[in-house]
Copies of this chain bind each other. A is one copy, B any other.
């Protein structure tokens, strides 16, 4: 930025590079909506007022202009596309800055994965800021692809895109003062440290807040949110694909506390992103539920910028980045024009600037499985087994005990009674480690589904009605270098290829969305009952959420936090 030139434009001594005439400015600083012309010099707003001229002028005819939207916390990997590709989906919706936690790829590829995200982000119009993943691996009851201690994370402090420390999910470790966790907090002592503390309350919540962690995005009730606000945490109200908390929390919002509230999407998959939107969707939901539009927009702009100390954005004012969203309906803002750093980058839902089509062939394979050695046979050491009980739309599971059929000395699935076999195959180090068990509540009547997206370790997870289908599905995913597949017997029905860390596609988000639809259709045609059985499956292997989960190390009783035998 050339400040002398900015000042000359602000004074009116030189024409603006771009002048937006006849705007109704959503001024999140003064708390008003007022008419204004907006004079832009290079990447910043130089002047707001009347009497400016521009080399280029756009008459907005009274349309609203608000700051470009910010997503306070998002895992890009959940969109199944790369940062540069996600940018093309978000920017036309008015989102100009996101704060991402590359937690998933870090669990697969460690610092290399984070560096890939940082490098790819440079190709995005979207300004992608990165928080360092704090919990890699999540626990020692799984095998992940990497381990990041404080000393590793410190390397990220020098990266200009890195803001702070991402959601510290190991809240018991924080509360108890675990030395390795505190070392990470110390490494980021001058940075923003984000939190994640579902249901934490009372003294333990005080301890978590006293650690210097300053946010949470896991509230599910107003009561929980109110206590966390009192404890000093900034709250990110979340509307993800799998966790939809926004409507439940909106009754919390008052003029006296709104400055401590931001909006975040956390995890949104391609279908939701393309059909509903991103943060823009959350703004519309908030307004539809009765939140004042100015407040809803503040929660998506100024508040997030202030939380992350990004003083250069979050408002439309002289000296701030000219990241702007133009829209017509204050009751349901939908971006009609989007400006990023002073440039018109999207209009009517389409990008206006070309971005390079990138190739990702150079990335290392991360699925290290010998497809020929896959063996899901379970020797029957009993007939009464622990069974994971999936619950629709919940991350928690039931810890069931059931009789399982035994054939030729092996325990087998029984789809007729909703008993499926499940396997988690270690895929990072080629150890051949496999955890085996049973699950109910998925509802496949035949065939199998497989995926390398499995929070947080992202090992290969397979659920099926028979071993052959499971081997076919697992082989399809392994040969694709990662992804999700549906198979029946020897037939690979359909596969969504996610060769980047087994988490992301190198393709455009529209293709990924189509593949995902095909995949869900195939799963449903084979009897799957859940809306998204792949998402459900991905959390059946997440051993930090109760009650019974399966990792490559075996069945985990989360309440006892230890591996337990399959047979009782």
Q: Using a CB–CB distance below 8 Å, which chain A residues touch chain B?
A: 3-4, 6-8, 10-12, 27, 29-32, 34, 39, 44-49, 51-52, 174-177, 182, 185, 202-204, 206-207, 209-212, 214, 226, 229-232, 254-257, 259-260, 294, 306, 309, 311, 315, 317-320
A255 to chain B, nearest CB (A): 4
Q: What are the residues of chain B within 8 A of A309 when measuring CB–CB?
A: 309
Contact A318 B206 (CB under 8 A): yes
Q: State the CA gap A58–B255 with chains docked (Å).
A: 33
Q: State the CA gap A6–B175 with chains docked (Å).
A: 10
Contact A206 B306 (CB under 8 A): no
Q: State the CA gap A259–B294 with chains docked (Å).
A: 14
Q: State the CA gap A46–B10 with chains docked (Å).
A: 47
Contact A177 B211 (CB under 8 A): no
Q: State the CA gap A174–B260 with chains docked (Å).
A: 33
Contact of A47 among B46, B210, B214, B317 (CB under 8 A): B210
Q: State the CA gap A27–B177 with chains docked (Å).
A: 26
A416 to chain B, nearest CB (A): 50
Q: State the CA gap A4–B178 with chains docked (Å).
A: 9
Contact A30 B260 (CB under 8 A): yes
Contact of A306 among B30, B48, B185, B306 (CB under 8 A): B306
Q: State the CA gap A46–B12 with chains docked (Å).
A: 52
Q: What are the residues of chain B within 8 A of A212 when measuring CB–CB?
A: 3, 319
Q: State the CA gap A531–B143 with chains docked (Å).
A: 79
A12 to chain B, nearest CB (A): 4
Contact B231 A48 (CB under 8 A): yes
Contact of A257 among B8, B30, B204, B315 (CB under 8 A): B30
Contact B319 A210 (CB under 8 A): yes
Q: What are the residues of chain B within 8 A of A214 when measuring CB–CB?
A: 311
A89 to chain B, nearest CB (A): 30
Contact B47 A229 (CB under 8 A): no
Given contacts A177-B8, A255-B256, contact A207 B32 (CB under 8 A): no
Contact B32 A231 (CB under 8 A): no
For A6, the closest partner residue in chain B by CB is B210
Q: State the CA gap A50–B543 with chains docked (Å).
A: 32
Q: Which of A10, A32, A206, A212 has the most CB of B within 10 A?
A: A206
Given contacts A230-B32, A255-B256, A257-B31, contact A7 B175 (CB under 8 A): yes
